[in-house]
Structure 1
Amino acid sequence: MGKVWELDFYSRPILDENKKKQWEVLICETQTDSQGSLEDGFRYAKFCPPSTVNSIWLREAIETAIEKAGEAPSKIRFFRRQMNNMIVKACEDAGLVATPSRRTYTLNNWLDERFQDFYPSQEGYNETAAAANASVAYPPLNAIALPDAVRGDKSDKWAFVSLEASAFADMSEWDIKFGEGFPLELANIPRDAKIPGFIIFSQRALPLAGWMSGLELVSLKFQPKPLPILSLETGLSDSWILASLTDKSSVVEAQGFDNTKNNAQGVHFLAIQSSPDVEVFSGFWLLKDDH
């Protein structure tokens, strides 16, 4: 499987001589090593005049990026719902798969850097336009039950846990069947920080992890009302009921998970194992709250 890229194509807070916003395409490689450097992966940026904003220009930019990278990605993630049609068409015309996703952690970090350091130094920068830039986040849909094919039974167990950030130094060597990480550098996590997580123990661990691997996993969220649940956020706005919190102790644990997650800049993880006695992870994903 080839590398995954993340793409954004949108207006920037830089005005041209006609007071029109410049557009820009950003393409970067998804970083999956929890101890990796953000500077290691491929990056490509190009400004687009507002008069030529279309799928043809974007396709040509993607093809140029492929030429510079020396290889095509297996898929391209993008987060801007309002750009869906143009991005999907440009990618399809370039022979690529475009996937709507909030799991664009590397790209989000790069955008934050550019809004803070790069765009303000450019001629034509407009602070008002910068403040109006669209957020990554979309209101999630109401959480729904997991499909019957992967829903657990009474023998399934789960637990809220935590690991020190330093434990992820060896993540690339763990026995993980399905999963994905990202550089903890994205959130400036110190090595002694506690990273909270949620582990599911199920005899159907592998089918569950395989099904989840087909989704764009974003984050876990504790929702206290109307009934306390832990939801799994995927795609652009999908939400699944991962666990119903039916007693006070589980609610207290979920609140503790939420507090630890906030202290870890939104970083957390989801793990799936067949039992607590095995060292193999059927699934393991590093996650991060979207903006």
Structure 2
Amino acid sequence: MTTATAIVAGHGLALRRSLPLPNPPGRPISLSLSFPARSLQHAARRMIVPSSRPSRRCRSISSESPTAASGTTEEDVDADEEEEEEGEEVDPQAEVRYLDPDADPDSIREWELDFCSRPILDARGKKVWELVVCDATLSLQFTRYFPNTSINSVTLRDALASVADELGVPLPDRVRFFRAQMQTIITRACGELGVKAVPSRRCVSLLLWLEERYETVYSRHPGFQAGTRPLLALDNPFPTTLPENLFGDKWAFVQLPFSSVREEVESLGRRYAFGAGLDLDLLGFELDDTTLVPGVAVESSRAKPLAAWMNGLEICALEVDTGRAILILAAGVSTRYVYAGYQKSPAATQEAEAWEAAKKACGGLHFLAVQENLNSDGCVGFWLLLDLPQPPV
């Protein structure tokens, strides 16, 4: 048994009780690290998603705002907004066309897209389909309903072109989508427009918007069918063997204060060649700065090539399967890899369960860091990850 201290991006993380564990040849040498679950504060998290009135974005009001200076409190403003929202009728059959007037249209280079049926029947008794498009900041929002008789790549291609025309924005460089079953149609439609289609579950804003639309739009539609299961449910396949080019040398469970996670995300573009963040303000995380966010640090003698390969995977989550004593990496839309293993024991199981409990306490927030050495003071790659439930549609 050895004791080590891992440094993630300049922040010292005490890794208590490093256990070298044997793996098959070519696999990473796993490090299972103990940390007390009670050290993680169970701070609440609030998700912010766009309202059914896209012209009003959900934002917090600063105590230094003009309303506060004039004697109006934040509570008064919130109460007024709630009363206004309760008194406003939402037309569930209306389609959304919205571009934030403060946004620079040329800066919106990536869209998130869903093209699928909804739990709504039309006059023919057939399921209605819907195209939903947004960007990661929800500055762009677009929806359109379709009959089930016109679902093909040509329809989608023309609809995507109309998003650009109607909102006055250029076509994006990339479009992310999360349904594997729609890959052929989406890829073909995007290809004809010169847009790269990226299968990825890192469509966080889109997934949360769909959840909100289910409650405020679909369930209030006159054709809504309660209890209808999604036509194209997300796959959760059995994990497969990790490709050799993704092997690391060691890995470890680690922790990082929420304030430091914010710093890493904010500096991601300046400090790292590889990685991905999340818009923590848009997502409305309300964790204390000292709350410890769980993560996994990976050491590799070929850290830069490893990070480069991982950067193209659209990594979305990590999870521990305590029954099989493995760490699973989820990527793309339906890819799951056995990322590493550890020697099963009561102590190791307890540590793995503590890591998963810590992730749940942080609202599903966690991270993956790639380093040249677990004791180094910097990262070659940093990905902020989030567990999300299956979409209701």
TM-score, with length taken from structure 2:
0.64
Once the two structures are TM-superposed, the CA of residue 256 in structure 1 deviates from its matched residue by 1.3
Aligned to 1:206: 304
Q: What is the CA–CA distance in structure 2 between the aligned matches of 1:214 and 1:254, rounded to whole Å?
A: 27
Change (3 A) 1:150 1:169: closer
Q: For the Cα contact (< 8 Å) 1:102–1:236, is it kept in 2?
A: yes
Identical-pair percentage:
35
Give deviations 1:62-112, integer Å, cap 9, x for gaps.
112233252222222212222222222211222222222222212111100
Whether 1:63 aligns to 2:161 is: yes
Aligned to 1:151: 247
Letter aligned with residue 200 of structure 2: S
Equivalent residues, number:
276
Aligned to 1:104: 203
| Superposition pairs of residues 1-291 of structure 1, within 5 angstroms | 3-29=109-135, 31=136, 38-39=137-138, 41-67=139-165, 68=167, 70-128=169-227, 131-134=228-231, 137-147=234-244, 149-152=245-248, 156-170=249-263, 171-174=265-268, 175-184=271-280, 188-192=284-288, 193-226=291-324, 228-246=325-343, 248=345, 249-290=347-388, 291=390
Q: What is the CA–CA distance in structure 2 between the aligned matches of 1:117 and 1:262, rounded to whole Å?
A: 26
SS of corresponding position for 1:126? coil
Q: For the Cα contact (< 8 Å) 2:294–2:367, is it kept in 1?
A: yes
Q: What is the CA–CA distance in structure 2 between the aligned matches of 1:120 and 1:247, rounded to whole Å?
A: 46
Q: What is the CA–CA distance in structure 2 between the aligned matches of 1:76 and 1:203, rounded to whole Å?
A: 34
Aligned to 2:70: none
Unaligned 5+ segments in structure 2 are 1-106
Change (3 A) 1:136 1:268: farther
Q: For the Cα contact (< 8 Å) 2:180–2:334, is it kept in 1?
A: no
Change (3 A) 1:208 1:281: same
Change (3 A) 1:158 1:57: same
Letter aligned with residue 172 of structure 1: E
Q: What is the CA–CA distance in structure 1 between the aligned matches of 2:353 and 2:305, rounded to whole Å?
A: 29
Change (3 A) 1:278 1:72: farther
Unaligned 5+ segments in structure 1 are 32-37
Q: What is the CA–CA distance in structure 1 between the aligned matches of 2:168 and 2:338, rounded to whole Å?
A: 39
Structure 1 residue ranges (4+ consecutive) displaced by more than 6 angstroms after TM superposition: none
Change (3 A) 1:150 1:123: closer
Deviates more, 1:206-215 or 1:67-76: 67-76
Q: For the Cα contact (< 8 Å) 2:294–2:366, is it kept in 1?
A: yes
Once the two structures are TM-superposed, the CA of residue 250 in structure 1 deviates from its matched residue by 4.3
Once the two structures are TM-superposed, the CA of residue 150 in structure 1 deviates from its matched residue by 4.1
SS of corresponding position for 2:222? coil
Give deviations 1:129-153, integer Å, cap 9, x for gaps.
xx31247531223331331x3423x
Q: What is the CA–CA distance in structure 2 between the aligned matches of 1:115 and 1:62, rounded to whole Å?
A: 22
Q: What is the CA–CA distance in structure 2 between the aligned matches of 1:150 and 1:132, rounded to whole Å?
A: 36
Deviates more, 1:135-144 or 1:192-201: 135-144
TM-score, with length taken from structure 1:
0.84
